[in-house]
Amino acid sequence: MTKKIKVLTLSDHPFSPSGVGTQTKYVLEALLKSGKFEVLSLGGAIKHQNYTPTYIDPYGDDWKVIPIDGYGTQEVIRSVIRNEKPDILWFMTDPRFYEWLWEMENEIRSLLPMVYYHVWDNKPLPMFNKKYYDSNDHIATISRVTHECVQGVSPDIDATYMPHAVDSSVFKPLSMELRQELKKRVLPEEDHDKFIVFWNNRNARRKQSGALLWWWKEWLDKRDLNDKAQLIMHTNPFDVHGQNLNQIAEELNLHKRQVVFSTKKIALKGMSAFYLAADCTVNIADAEGFGLSTLESLSCGTPIIVNMTGGLQEQIMGSDGPYGFPIYPTSKSIIGSQKVPYIYEDRISKDQLHSALDKMYALSKEERYELGMKGAKHVQENYNFEKFGEKWVDLMLKIHEKHGSWETRKGHSGITFKEVA
């Protein structure tokens, strides 16, 4: 029997509701279903009630999840590598969380290859990331913008464009009649005939959640739609990284039928019901690495309104697109921090959002349905769930063959010691 390739993963917990967690789960399930891999997941970025390792059904001993705080430490990685002897280290999310990991690059890469699934929001080329990019054996990129950044900064590093995917068996379109029936089941009776706009994002500053509330209220007032339209925001109104959305809504005099906050954790099938009940999904983030929620929306046949930034650009545009109404930024701002010295934010205006909402609202139900169904076809052709899994299996097999691990390690000499006279 051929020995399975053991993959150690470091990312958001694969069963967390974040986009990173969801994509991690999709990648790992694809590897496991191939029968050629076993997986050890360090599940981070969430609060744990229990730190006991668990085995995930139906994969038995082939998938073990170890809960960790944050994204781990050098001591944790050393211990796991020493005790488990994985063949590949696969990790994902923003690079600023892994500075400590790349500091031990030679220590790890002398034994096994490092594969980074890279999330980056925007240009200009992040030259300050070069030392991180150069510390990997392979980088997979979530969007064309991210891929261009990696190739521009570190052209000698092996890189593969691997956009996210959605599970079309869960996020799937329905007929117009079934959508209307579902809308009546999901929403209270007084909201059945309203124009519903859905927003599914983390309440973080770059997502522009507060601005959306403000601009939404002004749009309702200008168009005399206060009793005819509703914004549903699936988010935490009190996220420490965002704004107090409840207080903003109160200050703007938005009543509970004009904006609804959905705060409970919802299974994927429940989330698909929100997309199907909505007339459109909106994302006006200033910067967005990919934007999984709008892809899920299109997969359900629900058109989108998006800021043309990051990965959102390639979702809404296709051979017969756009699949909604793109908003082209009118200005850019450079922001940064000590760890990320500079990155663009793409800014849109209130009037641009109002114009996009006007256009979407003016469409008949039949026209919105046709627009959404074109989007669903675009997702199936370009973000196909089965092809996504096949590509990841193929890539990881090639990486293992090229680089080996432990006694068969190739292409990296590791730490060398020179004799000093």
Residue 107 burial (CB < 10 Å; 0-12/13-18/19+)?
middle
Q: Residue 111 and residue 193: Cα distance in Å, rounded?
A: 61
Longest dimension (CA), the chain: 85
Burial 290-301 (b: 16+ CB within 10 A, else e): bbbbbbbbbbbb
The number of residues in the chain equals 421
Strands of 229-234's sheet in order across: 259-262, 229-234, 195-200, 280-283, 304-307, 324-327
Angle between the N-to-C axes of helices 209-223 and 350-362, in degrees from 0 to 180, rounded to the nearest 10 = 60
The residues, any chain, with a CB within 8 Å of residue 79's CB and separated by 6 or more, are none
Residue 71 backbone dihedrals phi, psi, to 5 degrees: -120, 20
Retrieve residue 150's tokens: 């990696």
Which stretches within 167-320 are classed as H helix?
Answer: 176-186, 209-223, 245-251, 268-277, 292-299, 312-316
Instruction: Provide the residue ranges of all domains of the chain, joining segments of one domain with +.
Output: 5-165+384-408, 176-382
Determine the pLDDT at residue 233: 97
Question: Which residue has 């990320």 as its token pair?
Answer: 340
Q: What dotted CATH number matches 176-382?
A: 3.40.50.2000
| Residue 203 and residue 209 in contact, taking contact as beta carbons nearer than 8 Å | yes
Which class does domain 5-165+384-408 fall in?
A: alpha beta
Per-residue tens of pLDDT for the chain, all 421 residues: 689 999 999 998 888 877 888 899 999 999 999 999 999 999 877 777 777 888 999 999 999 999 888 888 999 999 999 999 999 999 998 888 888 999 999 999 999 999 999 988 888 999 999 999 999 999 999 999 999 999 999 999 999 999 999 999 999 999 999 999 999 998 999 999 999 999 999 898 889 999 999 999 999 999 999 999 999 999 999 988 889 999 999 999 998 889 999 988 888 888 999 999 999 999 999 989 899 999 999 999 999 999 999 999 999 998 898 999 999 999 989 888 888 888 889 999 999 999 999 999 999 999 999 999 999 999 999 999 999 999 999 999 999 999 999 999 997 765 543 444 4
Amino acid at 152: G
Among 283, 19, 296, 266, smallest CA distance to 171 is for 296
Determine the pLDDT at residue 21: 87
Determine the pLDDT at residue 414: 59
Helix (H, G, I), strand (E, B) or coil at 12: strand
Q: Residue 230 and residue 249: Cα distance in Å, rounded?
A: 13
Burial 47-69 (b: 16+ CB within 10 A, else e): eeeeeeeeebeebeebbbbbbbe
Q: Residue 405 and residue 40: Cα distance in Å, rounded?
A: 16
Counting Cα atoms < 13 Å in the Cβ hemisphere of 187 gives 32
Helix (H, G, I), strand (E, B) or coil at 349: coil
* CA 91, 96, 98, 104 torsion-angle sign: positive
Q: What is the dihedral of CA 95, 96, 100, 105, to 10 degrees?
A: 30
Q: Residue 84 and residue 111: Cα distance in Å, rounded?
A: 12
Q: Residue 127 and residue 342: Cα distance in Å, rounded?
A: 10
Determine the pLDDT at residue 281: 98
Question: Which residue has 């590093």 as its token pair?
Answer: 157
Determine the pLDDT at residue 1: 63
Q: Residue 413 and residue 99: Cα distance in Å, rounded?
A: 21
Determine the pLDDT at residue 420: 47
Q: What is the dihedral of CA 42, 48, 54, 58, to 10 degrees?
A: -90
Amino acid at 14: P
Determine the pLDDT at residue 161: 96
The residues, any chain, with a CB within 8 Å of residue 318's CB and separated by 6 or more, are 374, 378, 381, 382
Q: Please determine whether the domains at 5-165+384-408 and 176-382 fall in the same fold group of CATH.
A: yes
- Whether a cis peptide bond, with omega within 30° of 0, leads into 124 is yes
Burial 307-323 (b: 16+ CB within 10 A, else e): bbbbbbbbbbbbeebbb
Q: Nearest-5° angle of CA 396, CA 115, CA 103? A: 160
